[in-house]
Amino acid sequence: MSDELFSPIVGGAYRPTDLTRGPWSPDSQHGGPPSALLAYAVEQTEPHSMFVARFTVEFIRPVPLAPLTVTSRVTRPGRRVQLVEATLAADGESVARAMALRIRMHNGIDLPPEASGPTETLPPPDSVESVRLVPVDWVNFGDALDTRPLIGGLTEPGPSVAWIRLRVPVVAGEEPSPLQRTLVAADCGNGISSAVDIDRYLFINPDLTVYQHRPAAGEWIGLDALTRLESHGSGLAESALFDGGGRFGRSLQSLYVDQR
């Protein structure tokens, strides 16, 4: 088994490892790894002092287990607010893109205590045992995660609360950033809160949006996740995002729903 999600190769491209595979096909990636690679590209884009308050990923087509090139650019420059776009391509064809909203960070603003809202916390990760996230036969992204459900079961339909920790680097030799850890966990929201049996139905997210009011702290990301589906073939998965200090954001995923 590999020790990272992506390995840099000649020409500024990245080769995905077997740990990026998703639950729907052994030939395509889970949404978490390419989302984290797009975040890596955004974080390499100057200036580095701005905070990513919103990160939206659109999966244009299934992301293959093939070398990926990554490009990024500032599409809305500004001293207070910026937009940064990043794109993943395989064989010259775009497969995923992201738009990050970045906001200037102050040294400190004197805010009243009630401005931050109530503190919500989850029981610690060490209070429960680790389980395998994706119940398929092939090595996949779930094997790169330490997943610990607090409420609900990963193979039982219904809302779920779980802690998720990325075990390996996104890019070989580099420590995952808080944003990268948040994105790989957030893309699991529809999986841990599946409303139907994964063996009978598809519920694939063609996008992922994460809002955060502060960066995550530590390795563990907590999700309080709920999925709603409609018979016309769409759905929505939403997750409250936590770390050891409490709530720090929310994620949303549109869902394409069908019978297998």
- Domain of 245: which CATH number? 2.40.160.210
For residue 22, give the 3-state DSSP assignment. Answer: coil
- Binned at pLDDT 50, 70 and 90, residue 18 comes out as very high
Asked if pLDDT for residue 254 goes beyond 90, the answer is yes
Under 8 Å between Cβ of 219 and 245 = no
- Binned at pLDDT 50, 70 and 90, residue 222 comes out as very high
Residue 113 lies in a domain: no
Residue 111 lies in a domain: no
Percent of the chain at pLDDT > 70 equals 99
pLDDT digits (tens, 9 = 90+) for 226-245: 999 999 999 999 999 999 99
CB-based burial label for 136 (10 Å; 0-12, 13-18, 19+): middle
Looking at the structure of the chain, the number of domains it has is: 1
Under 8 Å between Cβ of 221 and 185 = yes
**DSSP-derived secondary structure letter, 113:** G
Please give the pLDDT value at position 1: 65
Q: Which structural domain, as residue segments, surrounds residue 17?
A: 6-106+121-259
Q: Which amino acid is at 258?
A: D
* CA atoms within a 13 Å half-sphere pointing along the CA-CB vector of 201: 20
pLDDT digits (tens, 9 = 90+) for 120-136: 899 999 999 998 877 67
Encode 167-218 in three state secondary structure: CCCCECCCCCCHHHHHHHHHCCHHHHCCCCCCCCEEEECCEEEEEECCCCCC
How far is Cα 77 from Cα 57, in angstroms, rounded to an integer? 20
Please give the pLDDT value at position 139: 86
Residue 130 lies in a domain: yes
For residue 38, give the 3-state DSSP assignment. Answer: helix
pLDDT digits (tens, 9 = 90+) for 73-88: 999 999 999 999 999 9
Please give the pLDDT value at position 164: 97
Residue 115 lies in a domain: no
Average pLDDT of every residue of the chain: 92
Residue 154 lies in a domain: yes
Residue 116 lies in a domain: no
Under 8 Å between Cβ of 159 and 223 = no
Residue 164 lies in a domain: yes
Beta bridge partners of 16: 6
- Binned at pLDDT 50, 70 and 90, residue 257 comes out as very high
How far is Cα 73 from Cα 139, in angstroms, rounded to an integer? 34
Residue 44 lies in a domain: yes
